[in-house]
Chain A
Amino acid sequence: MSLSLNHLKTLESEAIYVIREAAAQFQNPCILFSGGKDSIAVTYLAKKAFYPAAIPFPLIHIDTGHNFPETIAYRDQLVASLGVRLIVGSVQESIDKARVAEEKGFNASRIRLQTTTLLDTIEEFKFDCALGGARRDEEKARAKERFFSHRDEFGQWDPKNQRPELWNLFNGRKHVGEHFRVFPISNWTELDVWQYMAMEGIELPSLYFAHKRKVFERDGVLLAESEHIPMKPTEQPTEQLVRFRTIGDITSTGATVSAAATIDEIIQEVASTRVTERGGRADDKRSETSMEDRKKEGYF
């Protein structure tokens, strides 16, 4: 008899522990669901954590309105199969209510605008905890993130003044109006997520697998042809065999040329790749600390 767990089972156990801890310590948690593989993993782990009871919190989707149609189809199917509540926070509504102003120009993006919609949604539904699929290996500011990450009454993150996190003791105490972001898969890498998906046989949106699509290159990033992205006269879309390594807003999610059509092929590809996942994210290329700046304001 061997009393040892492999690394994926160890990470799974840790994530389930964190999710259950969030359910126990907070009055009104929610899961931030983007339709990407990381938030799918968190949702799947939450289902495991509470079975046979339903996931005791709703899914929140902050919708920029610039979606891949595949993401929305997957989201609706998942929500139906899990029997959870879905709350959509709409960036378009925030723009219509003049809470935020649309960015102008070719590189206009609604990424930064999401923060206002997200914080408004958290306030409207009085969520005191939002679980997210952020991982520390994704980005250098995220490498400093806690499992239980405190947000002040303005939704801000103060990276220089974080609570120490010792052993497995998570301090979720807060004042009225403050909330927490909780990241159950903090310790997972991109490869871990894929290996876990393969091990568990989790179904994923088709965007992650190789498919033919019209794409064009801008600033070294391959973007999908879409009504939401105005093209410059010099930009010519061509049809290529591509897949997406991350899935977010269509205006800032870069495609990779790839023939990987199965999870096993993706694992092989990720294991040998030489560029980080977010290397294809236009939103992170804006400045060296753009993620940290967005996170301080209350971004995911």
Chain B
Amino acid sequence: MYCLTTQYSLLNTNRMFDSNSYLNMELMRFTTAGSVDDGKSTLIGRLLYDSKSIFEDQLENIKATSERRGESYVNLALLTDGLRAEREQGITIDVAYRYFSTPKRKFIIADTPGHIQYTRNMVTGASTANLAIILVDARNGVVEQTRRHSLIASLLGIPHIAVCINKMDLVDYSQEQYDKIVRDYRDFAARLKVKDIHFLPISALHGDNVVTRSAKMPWYEGVTLLYLLETVHIAGDTNHIDARFPVQYVIRPYNDEFHDYRGYAGRLSGGVLRPGDKVTVLPSGFQSTIKAIELDGKQLEEAFAPMSVTILLNDDIDISRGDMIVRDNNKPQVEQDIEAMICWMGDQPLRPGGKYALKHTTRDARAVVKDIKYKLDISTLHRITENPEIAANDIGRITVRTTAPLMYDPYTRNRETGSFILIDEGTNVTVGAGIILD
């Protein structure tokens, strides 16, 4: 049963922001992972409701639907389950995106379903997230699902993890139980590469430590979940060291006023670029200097990831979509043989020796699978090397050779230049998500 009465006043004050304060708001993306009954919907419902992002007509609508179905409480899962089949079957099929904001940040939640197409959906949601919320049922502690979620979060390089130990109300708000789960999780997580882990004892149902501090857990000295979401440092999640500018589109106006204009349009995948910088264009290796950086006719003093801009160079050289502009003194690797972890999403298993279309930054190539090194047992992290078959929702390590060189960085250094997708050339469906290794 979801209580919709508490904390209502909070956001009434929150929303009364002055007219320009929103110009200082940051954008943060997070994903929620949890198995079927761990209260994920309730937690999202709580965040949306307490941040005043559930509207009256939405609430009326799900109340009416719940009543019609004879459910004894307002089923907040109906908020995120948008498709007819999902509502009929009471399951979530696909990643749903939800939005809420506080005066400090705008949040994008990628809400990923717990069971169906599990790895595929979580990988999709995790690929752009700054933070993952991993829910653990306080009664059950760290279970197989927790380990799977955490492995994917770490593999996909999510910079921050918030382990929410939920349903504390059902274990009498026991510090002892909480400490034990934290210890178990730390033991397991020591094998993962996660930079920043936070633990929070919560009750999503009653709102303890979600938006307001819980009076029932005076022993907990940490912050609330919303406070963490609002304050965790995300500016450092973007690589501002290695300048990478994949060329997306060449702008040629074909009019008298801008007769010789040749602008390279794209979005920085990393680093900072300024007019005057000495740059190299890859893969050709031609060198030039930046004449101007602009957007919509306005000249910029600098551009940094993830800004979309147009770059003009001082020399007239041949550059097209798929090329990459970088600084002379900081270049990515340029290779045709790529070592990667692959998260498989295709209905047919990955074919050893198979050929696929490959997309990496703005570059298209074809790739042949040279070798499958192992498949990962997602629960135990054990490597299966004997006849590994990588089927839907499996993760494994592969080597691919590409028809054209890729300009890449290891995924751990840059999530955009370190990732690619594989596409089945017959069906055009995206079948694999690749994470490039060192």
By a beta-carbon cutoff of 8 Å, the part of chain A in contact with chain B is 1-14, 16-17, 20-21, 23-24, 47-54, 136-137, 139-144, 159-160, 162-169, 171, 173-175, 186-187, 189, 191-192, 195, 199, 264, 267-268, 271-276, 279, 288-289, 292-293
Contact between B19 and A49 (Cβ–Cβ < 8 Å)?
Answer: no
Contact between B57 and A165 (Cβ–Cβ < 8 Å)?
Answer: no
Contact between A54 and B249 (Cβ–Cβ < 8 Å)?
Answer: no
* CB interface residues, B 264-313, toward A, < 8 Å: 265-267, 272, 295-297, 302, 304, 306-308, 310
Chain A contacts for B401, CB-based, 8 A = none
* CB interface residues, B 234-270, toward A, < 8 Å: 235, 238, 240, 248-249, 251-255, 257-258, 261, 263, 265-267
Tell me, rounded to whole Å, the shortest Cβ–Cβ distance linking A7 to chain B: 4
Chain A contacts for B16, CB-based, 8 A = 271-272
Contact between A21 and B304 (Cβ–Cβ < 8 Å)?
Answer: no
Contact between A279 and B27 (Cβ–Cβ < 8 Å)?
Answer: no
Q: Could you jot down 13 A-B contacts, CB within 8 Å?
A: A3-B235, A10-B27, A20-B308, A49-B265, A50-B265, A52-B253, A171-B428, A186-B97, A271-B17, A288-B65, A289-B84, A289-B87, A292-B82
Tell me, rounded to whole Å, the shortest Cβ–Cβ distance linking B183 to chain A: 34
CA of A48 to CA of B253 in the docked complex: distance in angstroms? 13
Which 10 residue pairs of A and B lie closest in terms of their CB atoms, listed nearest first? A140-B82, A7-B27, A16-B308, A173-B428, A53-B253, A279-B57, A48-B296, A7-B106, A13-B308, A10-B27
Contact between B253 and A167 (Cβ–Cβ < 8 Å)?
Answer: no
Closest A residue to B65 by beta carbon equals A288
Select B430's contact among A52, A144, A164, A192, beta carbons within 8 Å. Answer: A164
B368 CB–A CB distance under 8 Å = no
Tell me, rounded to whole Å, the shortest Cβ–Cβ distance linking A114 to chain B: 21
Contact between B421 and A144 (Cβ–Cβ < 8 Å)?
Answer: no
B73 CB–A CB distance under 8 Å = no
B317 CB–A CB distance under 8 Å = no
By a beta-carbon cutoff of 8 Å, the part of chain B in contact with chain A is 15-17, 19, 22-27, 55-58, 61, 65, 79-85, 87, 93-99, 101, 105-106, 108, 120-121, 123-124, 127-128, 235, 238, 240, 248-249, 251-255, 257-258, 261, 263, 265-267, 272, 295-297, 302, 304, 306-308, 310, 321, 345, 357, 359-360, 362, 415-416, 419-421, 423, 428-430, 433
Contact between A164 and B248 (Cβ–Cβ < 8 Å)?
Answer: no
Contact between A169 and B56 (Cβ–Cβ < 8 Å)?
Answer: no
Chain B contacts for A195, CB-based, 8 A = 22
Contact between A192 and B433 (Cβ–Cβ < 8 Å)?
Answer: no
| Given known A13-B307, A141-B83, contact A164–B251 (CB-CB < 8 A) | no
Contact between B84 and A292 (Cβ–Cβ < 8 Å)?
Answer: yes
Contact between A144 and B94 (Cβ–Cβ < 8 Å)?
Answer: yes
Chain A contacts for B82, CB-based, 8 A = 139-144, 292
Tell me, rounded to whole Å, the shortest Cβ–Cβ distance linking B170 to chain A: 30
Chain B contacts for A17, CB-based, 8 A = 248, 267, 308
Contact between B308 and A166 (Cβ–Cβ < 8 Å)?
Answer: no
Chain B contacts for A174, CB-based, 8 A = 428
